[in-house]
Amino acid sequence: MLLPVADLIKEVKQHVRCIDAQTAASERKANKGLLVDVREPAEHQTKPAFGAINIPRGLLEMKLMELEKDPTRPIYLHCATSARAALGAEQLKRVGYQNVTVITCNMDEIQRCCEL
């Protein structure tokens, strides 16, 4: 039996840290965390969040390991609905990143808070 994607996302979110954009913006000011947009490049170009680097979900583990060698650095993932970000956070935890957070707000809220 196949697990519906919505159920998978719900299950994954039980095991990853999820916060809103305002909290993420406050934390990032204090801890210099890395903001990663896991959407596809065309989505990122259309509606980017200030300060975010774009690493599509399908390349996340490989590309991030090239860019960030410190497994303790705070990493904040976002996408359009938090689904891809949650799946990405799960995988980053599996490869050894210890401080991964999912931003659960919509893109308008993420953009607004990242500009603060």
Domains of the chain with CATH codes: 5-114 (3.40.250.10)
- Tell me the per-residue pLDDT of 29-81, one tens digit each, with 9 for 90 and over: 999 999 999 999 999 999 999 999 999 999 999 999 999 999 999 999 999 99
**Are the CB atoms for 86 and 3 separated by under 8 Å?**
no
| Bridge partners of residue 100, in order along the sequence | 75
Tokens of 53: 């680097």
40/102 Cα distance (integer angstroms): 17
Report whether pLDDT(102) > 80: yes
pLDDT of residue 116: 54
For residue 32, what are the β-bridge partners? none
pTM reported for the whole predicted model: 0.95
| 25 has a pLDDT exceeding 80 | yes
Tell me: pLDDT of 1 over 90.
no
Contact 100, 85 (CB under 8 A): no
Whether residue 74 contacts residue 34, with contact meaning beta carbons closer than 8 Å, is answered with: yes
